[in-house]
Chain A
């Protein structure tokens, strides 16, 4: 995924938005993640980077960000999934909601304008079953749900310009999630097959758009 593309789409997002990136190359993810979090810092948000791996290595990924001090209480936080998840396990949505709720409140209490999180979901989604659970978990994050409820956000955008295929199960899972949150998921992909499947299955809560 090209960093510029993801930044374009991230810039159009408000404080309660949730965006998923689909990428094949890890370097692309890092570029996109850093730019995304840098934007958050520019708006005086606390930012958090969540990924798998050694915490020191993760800190190096974000050490160029404004305010990165390597501490657990500063403007730039790092969370290693290795510390949180046992391999093959996911954390339930309620626990995630609670965790992000308190992290957001803490950020506000510490004088930041909000919390911006970039989380690498890949390690959690190596299997289709895990993917579905994780998708549900991800979509249930506090920032998203609270945002939808409070600000009446009507859409969540998934930047999937490099997606090579998504089958009916994946699309139906997105539709279910969107329906559960009374929102619409916009899948930005050039894949004509996704559009075709959404149309065939009458998925009212998913819209496929060409990438901008």
Chain B
């Protein structure tokens, strides 16, 4: 059974909210959470650490709330979708009629690039569409940049106000797809530099070898490089199977990241959200990009006059001990020289 603003709604009730002070945050979140507790609904809070502290202090020892660590829940877009989906399915299986979740979607004000999370906001709407979730995404107008706030308005079908109103968002439309497509096209500055690796029409095995070798010369952890190797293998296999030749692989290494661009001359997948959506049948198409989104810290899908490019970025997870590779030892911002 649906309760609160989502009464009568079927599937995901996806709502944005804006606040400009701690009091306004509480005006949004406290009734949302206490309403969930009173209705006996699974209620999850995945706010950034600062906001979570404010809410926790206000709610005291209220039972029936699950606080999810923000850093791991929002480690990367595809993982966040996967984790939410798994949690929600468990609750539905246990008989929940509605689940409530309030979460801070990362943006530059919280130290994350917006492009990937704009795609997330567009994708999560569809990826969780069938689940009885009331999800609230509060954005702090003090820290979120203007362009983020403008996108957020277009990415949510419902809006919550600090006065307690819940309204249909007239500005939500297929604009979410426009945002997702634009967000995907932002390039990495490394791409303007000469690549360290350049391969024409590589077989997946050759691509894996080249990226593994470049990874060894970088300062990144072996696990991070291995993950990138998986993603590169999938991207190259996809380009060979579904793209138009020739296929070009270029790779760059900086002390904090490896970037690999795999380009073919085709138009790429029609859906800009591909790879972020759950894959119902694991053997069907789209799984390669889904895997890439799971294992890379960022995936860009760029369609331009040159064709279709998958840009894969690998970074060590925050807080991971650095691997004593040559680039890390150098301790500079120099890119690994082409070679």
Contact = CB atoms under 8 A, between A and B. Distances in A.
Interface in A194-211: 196-197, 200-201
Contact of A167 (B222, B226, B233): B233
Interface string A46-59: 00000000000000
A168 B204 CA distance: 13
Contacts of A165: 204-205, 208, 229, 233
Interface residues of B, number: 19
Given A164-B205, A165-B208, A193 B226 contact: yes
A165 to B, nearest CB: 6
Interface in B192-242: 204-205, 208, 222-223, 226-227, 229-230, 233-234, 237
A172 B282 contact: yes
A200 B282 CA distance: 11
B287 interface: yes
A201 B226 contact: no
B291 A168 contact: yes
Contact residues of A: prevailing secondary structure: helix
A201 B290 CA distance: 10
Contacts of A73: none
A167 B295 CA distance: 14
A200 B222 contact: no
B176 interface: no
Contacts of A168: 234, 282, 287-288, 291
Contacts of A172: 282-283
Q: A interface, how many residues as a size bin? A: 10 to 19
A192 interface: yes
A169 interface: yes
Contact residues of B: prevailing secondary structure: helix
Contacts, number: 36
Given A192-B226, A196-B230, A200-B295, A167 B237 contact: yes
B294 interface: yes
Contact of B291 (A164, A192, A197): A197
Contacts of A201: 282, 291
A167 B282 contact: no
Nearest to A128: B237
Nearest to B208: A165
A117 B237 CA distance: 35
A169 B205 contact: no
Nearest to B229: A193
B57 to A, nearest CB: 37
A197 B230 contact: yes
B296 to A, nearest CB: 12
Nearest to A201: B282
Contacts of A167: 204, 233-234, 237
A169 B208 contact: no
Nearest to B237: A167
Contacts of B283: 169, 172
Nearest to A171: B282
B203 to A, nearest CB: 11
Nearest to A169: B283
Nearest to A176: B283
Given A165-B205, A168-B287, A200 B294 contact: yes
A165 B206 CA distance: 12
Interface in B251-296: 282-283, 287-288, 291, 294-295
Interface of B: 204-205, 208, 222-223, 226-227, 229-230, 233-234, 237, 282-283, 287-288, 291, 294-295
Interface of A: 164-165, 167-169, 172, 192-193, 196-197, 200-201
25 contacts: A164-B205, A165-B204, A165-B205, A165-B208, A165-B229, A165-B233, A167-B204, A167-B233, A167-B234, A168-B234, A168-B282, A168-B287, A169-B283, A192-B222, A192-B226, A193-B226, A193-B227, A193-B230, A196-B230, A196-B295, A197-B291, A200-B294, A200-B295, A201-B282, A201-B291
Given A165-B208, A200-B295, 9 more contacts: A168-B234, A172-B282, A192-B222, A192-B223, A192-B226, A193-B227, A193-B229, A196-B230, A196-B295
